[in-house]
Amino acid sequence: MPLFRRFILTVCLGCATLLVAGATPPATRADDAPKNNGVEETIIETGLYALFHHQVRCKITQAGWMEPTQGVWQDDNFFVDLPGKQLTQVDPRTYVAELEMAEFRDTLLYGIYRPAGQTPNDRRNTIAVFGESWYSNPVPVKLRFTLTQPDVPARIIYETPVQYVVNIGGRCNAAPTPFSAVLDASKGIPPVDPFVFSHDGAYAIKAELYDAKDRATGLYTQVSGRVVSTHGPTVMFVPVYSQKAEDATGLVYPTNRSMTLRAESLARYVSRYGPMYFPLEADAIGAVVRAPRDVSASLARARAVAESHITGWKRYLIPLAHLTGASTGNAEPEVVEAQLLQEFDGIAGLGHVGRLIVLNNGSLTGLTHDDAAAFTYSTKTIFAHDTISFLSVLHEIVHTEPVYLWSSPGMIAECKDDYHDNNGGTVTRGGVATHVRGIVNGKVTGVAYGVRTQHVLDFEAYDLESDPGTGAFTMGGVTVRPPTGDEAKAFHGEGVPQLRQRMDASYEVMGSEGTAPDIPDFRWITQCTYHHLVDDALQQSQDPHYLLARMVIAHRGAWAAGYFEPIYDVEDDAIQARQQGGAWNVTALDANGATVATYGFEPIWRGSDNARDRTAIPVTARIPYDDRIRRLELRSPAGVLATQTIGASPPSLQIDSPVDGASGVGRTVVVRWSATTAAGATALATVYYSVDGKIWLDRAFETKQTSLRLILAKNAARHYIRVVVTDGSRSAERTVVVSS
């Protein structure tokens, strides 16, 4: 006769108190029962059962609960359960955590709130394994948490002392004896050091009862799911100003030094605390600060390029205040701004920068709008006032992940709710307000729930309008300030490790900067935003070859116009365009005029945080490379707006000096290059410099020159110099490395 025994699993989802052997278990409410009515039959052939079932076969039932978190809950307190972001109960002791986990990110275990399809029943503060046994022999046991992933040894992530009792072995009693191992999880498990998933793929976490001799009982609760590898962007901060504008107005703007300090502060907080909000491991966001940049020449170049394209556009464009207060001739300001945005987008794309944050000190009135502290019209480039907080930077980065624009429509499509800041202080579902933000007991309330494993202490660093000493601010006539001392203990919870904080009804990062303060204790990421980032946006792709097509488009009524900027060949992990139809599209054609592919897009005439539509905007498409492509057409409902030929081969390029591998170079080198392009084409060169081969700083952009004097970093031993040349339809690049 085979050595096995069938045991019936029952569930008691209302249990939330610690029970000792012999005590009566809490009553199970009807609405707590899972869909299978709380009964499932399983075969158990291992553990202590194997020692006793051949002697006597007694009935035993079991159930339990737990879930993992890396910042937000699987079963969120506010957002509706949807596939991919919910906790599914398989049977009374087994769960599937559908919200993916990020590799190497701090992880904790908590209790549960609401498995999908069930009535909310808050058991967040406990993890439990419990049931009833008809055996007569009491056995002292402990609760062990084990993580298993394919191809690596199982790992114990936490274990309690031997402090529970369950009846296993002996004779069968006429009536059952309840057992209950309920662990306080109000601060998260493990209680001291979080654990991480060491690689991507499937995982299972089992909380199982073991006896004092480390023998498994087969009594457990388990949760399983999937781990993904996520990658944060490299963020480059570039303070910009227009010296010509400052000279013309006579106004006093922040100095270069103060601009640099603001940029350095933002970079420091984004790199240090950004991964705390996003599904990333610590230090996954790189941040670099450029020296302040006078963009007067870039503005002049943008005007010249725009004017060359839009001679016939002017009567269709909406008159607006001119950039920097100066006349732009035939080019209206929005077109000039769109052209300038494309220059920065090209710099970011060719320099393999994740995101470029252009910080305006106020002298460029056309680069940030009165209705937004920051905005973006592309995946790569974000424009902002240099007084914004790091949380506003994170807000804008989310708008661009994985590609521009993820905002209210994406929120509604993925989570049914719109919680973006354009809602005037409310969260809406189907156009109806579901939550009105306000101040309750001195705290701004929102719809973000979860737990933070880091605690930010320097509150005042995030809200430049708050009191610099206390971080206090006034909203709606109520003074709110971060808690300190004993207040902090009460706010965060007595005995909570310094770096942990429960976030309940916190104001969301994607809310308006003007609605809530940029103080981390009051703001958190919602389950919806987190799901969007971990499910797709931050999962790295390979480095495919694509054509970087930058365009400027304009419209008014039925009229439309547009043009192409120079095309580049690029290989990096940026998200490429998808083949799809659409009235607005870039169509790739072969030498015979046959369509190779169509890449539709929907123009976003209103930016990420603007209150009005624009007439002219920049558009960027990353077209997967296909050697059949010989022409790109920019199409709109009005017809073909622009055509760009695509060469069969890129230009030839050679860096003549310095020679690759040269040593003993001085602080200044003259970079010389030569390029051969298609007949009649003009070579435009962009030069980048790096001290590590990872972070590239542009030193010239689309210049017709063939040489550049380059000042090398004083304290660097190695110097990387990259030259990129385009003939308008294809591009080539070369890199040399020299040492001091």
Per-residue three-class SS string for 543-560: CCEEEEEEEEEEEECCEE
What is the pLDDT confidence band of residue 730, given thresholds at 50, 70 and 90? Answer: very high
Predicted confidence at residue 186, as pLDDT, reads 93
Q: Which domains does the chain have, with CATH numbers?
A: 5-228 (no CATH), 415-537 (no CATH), 545-645 (no CATH), 652-739 (2.60.40.10)
Predicted confidence at residue 257, as pLDDT, reads 79
Predicted confidence at residue 663, as pLDDT, reads 92
The stretch 45-70 carries a mean pLDDT of 72
The stretch 211-233 carries a mean pLDDT of 95
Neighbours of 672 (CB within 10 A): 15
Q: Quick one: which of 389, 347, 564, 369 has its CA closest to 473?
A: 389
Q: Is the pLDDT of residue 541 over 70?
A: no
Predicted confidence at residue 158, as pLDDT, reads 97
Predicted confidence at residue 525, as pLDDT, reads 94
Predicted confidence at residue 511, as pLDDT, reads 81
Q: 3-state SS of the chain: helix, strand, coil percent to 5? A: 15, 40, 45
Percent of the chain with pLDDT over 70: 75
The stretch 31-49 carries a mean pLDDT of 36
The winner for highest mean pLDDT among 41-45, 168-172, 554-558, 587-591 is: 587-591
Predicted confidence at residue 333, as pLDDT, reads 72
Percent of the chain with pLDDT over 90: 45
The strand pair at 355-360 and 234-241 is best described as parallel
Range in 36-45, 78-87, 332-341, 509-518 with the lowest mean pLDDT? 36-45
Predicted confidence at residue 317, as pLDDT, reads 65
What is the pLDDT confidence band of residue 318, given thresholds at 50, 70 and 90? Answer: low
What is the pLDDT confidence band of residue 490, given thresholds at 50, 70 and 90? Answer: very low
Helix residue ranges per DSSP H, 626-714: none
The string over 390-402, giving b where at least 16 C-beta atoms fall within 10 Å of a residue's C-beta and e elsewhere, is bbbbbbbbbbbbe
Q: Quick one: which of 89, 49, 40, 6 has its CA closest to 219?
A: 49
Q: Is the pLDDT of residue 705 over 80?
A: yes
With contact defined as beta carbons under 8 Å apart, do 131 and 28 qualify?
A: no
**Number of helical (H) and strand (E) elements in the chain, helices listed first:** 9, 45
- One DSSP character per residue, 399-455 reads HTSSSS--SHHHHHHHHSEE-SGGGSSEEEETTEEEEE--EETTEEEEEEEEEESS-
- Please give the mean pLDDT across all residues of the chain: 80
pLDDT digits (tens, 9 = 90+) for 373-410: 788 878 889 988 887 888 889 999 999 888 888 888 89
Predicted confidence at residue 596, as pLDDT, reads 95
Predicted confidence at residue 444, as pLDDT, reads 64
Distance CA 51, CA 168 (A): 10
Range in 212-216, 225-229, 481-485 with the lowest mean pLDDT? 481-485
Predicted confidence at residue 534, as pLDDT, reads 93
Predicted confidence at residue 675, as pLDDT, reads 93
Q: Which helix (H) or strand (E) holds 490?
A: helix 485-492
* pTM as predicted: 0.79
Residue, of 520 and 538, whose pLDDT is higher: 538
Predicted confidence at residue 442, as pLDDT, reads 57
What is the pLDDT confidence band of residue 537, given thresholds at 50, 70 and 90? Answer: confident
Reduced to 3 states (helix: H, G, I; strand: E, B; else coil), residue 181 is strand
85, 332, 600 from 603: Cα distances, Å: 30, 19, 10
Residue, of 455 and 434, whose pLDDT is higher: 434
Positive or negative torsion for Cα 158, 163, 164, 168: positive
Predicted confidence at residue 605, as pLDDT, reads 86
What is the pLDDT confidence band of residue 495, given thresholds at 50, 70 and 90? Answer: very low
The winner for highest mean pLDDT among 217-231, 411-425, 443-457, 601-615 is: 217-231
Q: Is the pLDDT of residue 127 over 90?
A: yes
What is the pLDDT confidence band of residue 195, given thresholds at 50, 70 and 90? Answer: very high
Residue 193 burial (10 A CB sphere; 0-12, 13-18, 19+): exposed
Return phi, psi of residue 101, to 5°: -95, 150
Q: Is the pLDDT of residue 21 over 90?
A: no
Strand order in the sheet with 697-703: 697-703, 684-690, 718-726, 731-739
Residue, of 484 and 628, whose pLDDT is higher: 628
Q: Quick one: which of 517, 574, 584 has its CA closest to 548?
A: 574
- Residue owning tokens 């980048």: 688
Q: Is the pLDDT of residue 197 over 90?
A: yes
Predicted confidence at residue 367, as pLDDT, reads 54
What is the pLDDT confidence band of residue 121, given thresholds at 50, 70 and 90? Answer: very high
With contact defined as beta carbons under 8 Å apart, do 443 and 475 qualify?
A: no
Residue 59, C-beta contacts closer than 8 angstroms, at least 6 positions apart? 7, 8, 133, 134, 172, 176
Predicted confidence at residue 53, as pLDDT, reads 46
pLDDT digits (tens, 9 = 90+) for 589-615: 999 999 999 999 989 888 777 667 888
pLDDT digits (tens, 9 = 90+) for 140-191: 999 999 999 998 999 999 999 999 999 998 889 999 999 999 999 999 999 9
- Residue owning tokens 């013309």: 248
